[in-house]
Structure 1
Amino acid sequence: MEDNKTNFQYGILSFPLPDKASHRRILHVDMDAFYASVEIRDNNSLRGKAVVIARHPKETNGRGIVSTCNYIARQYGIHSAMSAQEAYERCKEAVFIPTRHAYYREVSQQIREIFKRFTDKIEVVSVDEAYLDVTTNFYQEASAQKIGQKIQYDIYKELHLTCSVGVSYNKFLAKIASDYEKPAGLTVIPAETAEEFLEKLAIGKFHGVGKSLESKLLQAGVTSGKELKALSYADLVDHYGKMGRDLFFRVRGIDRREVKASRKRKSIGKERTFAPILLTHEELYRVMKEMTEEVEALVDKYQVNYKTVAIKFRYKDFSTHSKQTPFVFWGERRWQLYRVAKGLIDEVIDVNRGIRLLGVTVMDFDELIEEQVNLPLDDKRDTDFTKK
């Protein structure tokens, strides 16, 4: 029997759980609906309206993908990576605004200058998102919560934007905390109550659990952290691989990843496994179209240009193969990515052998631009989980 408090087993071997390093003070700052918030800030006539960051589908013959939208638009079910045409059908009164990436990067840089007042341990995740390690900081302030409040105040006062902040002792918990109370929230998850918090958390709220894995876990009866924590290390690793390993530790409040001042992303990709296996080109095309839209949403978020596209596939007999091709950008990139990936499917996949895994990856970035921070606009709130 596995001792969930001090040890875990894998096979016949028993290992001590890693130390939580709960002395650390980590912030995750997330700018709410960043692109849309910047546009609303700069154009007061947009306040109170549904704002969608994408070219209007009437201008593109129905093409295009939503980069992001404000919270009013989200009430209509609009979200990032949705087609602009569907967004328009959901809310015909929405205001569509093309993305201004260079300008958003300028604003993002202004936000980072505020971060630098507090610490030099800043890991930029995207133009609207960053981790800060304030265990030691330039203000010699012991309370990470107070630093989070000060960052929110400075960003709002100087840039007229809002952000949600998560405070905890590791990156995983800080990320979850920043999503907990949006917009303009500040949520603290202290070490003393972290495991209690995670046991009550819905499985889909665990950072890193996508829709596909969430579906598999729900089918296995895992609806929350409590059921997840009841699974053994061996069960999670054997069924879910590296992600299962990570979840075993994270549901116990363990995440020893450091806040790294610089990070270089080498590729962006998505893959899915299938049970039952896929046996038709139509099924492969449908899944690939969904994945290429998700990949391009991430490319848009991380603001990179890629020069190579690769697909990965696994047959029913578990043999795994891949094929890549150069990518030359012209016109509407999202639809090109799907066409290139579809072409690779047609070129190398024998669908009659049955497909149990399909993936698509873009790589060879010729420009990497640091990432984003999400900011809310009204209703400034301060949430401490201990008060919930």
Structure 2
Amino acid sequence: MSRITNETFYTVMTKLFDRLPNRYVGTHLLDFDKDNQRFTSWRSERTTEPFDPFTVLCEMHGIRSLIAAIVSGAYFEAEPLLVVPTGSRYTVLDGNRRLAAVRAILDHERYAHYYPDWLHKPTSELLESLTQIPVIIVADRQLVWPLLAQRHGMGTENWDSYTRASFFHRVTDSYLVSDYQVANYLGIGRWEFNRFMTPYRLIAAAEKAGIWNRRQMERKTIYYSLLAKTLQDERIQRFVGMESLDGFAAAALNLANVGRLLNWLHGNKEKGLRPALSYVDSDIRKLGRVVESDEAMRYLDEHGWLERAYQMAVQQKFPINSDLHKVHNKLGDMLATVPDYEVPYEGEGLAKQVKRAADDLYERVLKKRIKNGG
């Protein structure tokens, strides 16, 4: 496949945004797109297990509200589904949620568990109207990426950050559209686009190498914004083998550490570990300290308790911090022996204040040492 040139790119965009003719196609001829971007959070590129798009759409993407909207106000025909021919059938490139809602309505008795209890049954007229729905037929999925980018990448129906990153990765990697062209179309700088894509590229590299498996996540979906924010810490950048957020050489990545970081952020069901970060801003600062200590990282790998790993990371450098944390832990142990209804708020507040004072004191002293060249 040849790389898309600027001339071809703008020609395609012009044709896409001309008014395209609509057709009505039998609902029974429409298939869900298993490669649709909505499913990227649920599927790894390495996954070979059977995958049911209809079930995921109904259970994970708020299909009940869409069912209610169609049953109460009829199908919105002014926004056709975007489809591509597949033999004698059609694959839905955009509008998979609407197709799932229509399928659930047409067979509402079978899918009663997806149908809102309070909603009246669909009328025979509505059911008849849903047997054929309007579509726009396009010849090739790769030619419609500007339309999808406009609608879901920067419009009112935005995908989540990870889904958008996956979509733009497909555009640059499979459709051979340059980073510059995508960034220019989105109206942002190339460096900003690459920064946005960096977390996705880390995840993809870890999965491709078999270092990390999203199926083991304790979280339900990939917390993309948390990874993006964590990577702003220069210590964590060094930990995973990145020179900056503007891009990285895949060969220079420390993939083992990338996998460790993803486990810390998303948990690991196989190891019984919950996500280590709770309070994003302060926790990222602490995680930055942890990756400077082998002992602390090993503890975090095994137990997933960031507070304790952080204490281990700083106790040799700053004994007073360790002493204050001991006070906090002791207060916590004492409060744990008191019945819940008798625990004084003052006691809980004192324990938290001691811990915060320990962390803040260490950070202030460290900044002063760095300023003085120590």
Structure 2-normalised TM-score? 0.25
* Bigger relative contact order (CA 8 A; separation at least 6): 1
TM-score normalised by structure 1 residue count: 0.24
Structure with the higher helix share, 1 or 2: 2
* Larger gyration radius, structure 1 or structure 2: 2
Structure in which a larger fraction of residues adopt strand: 1
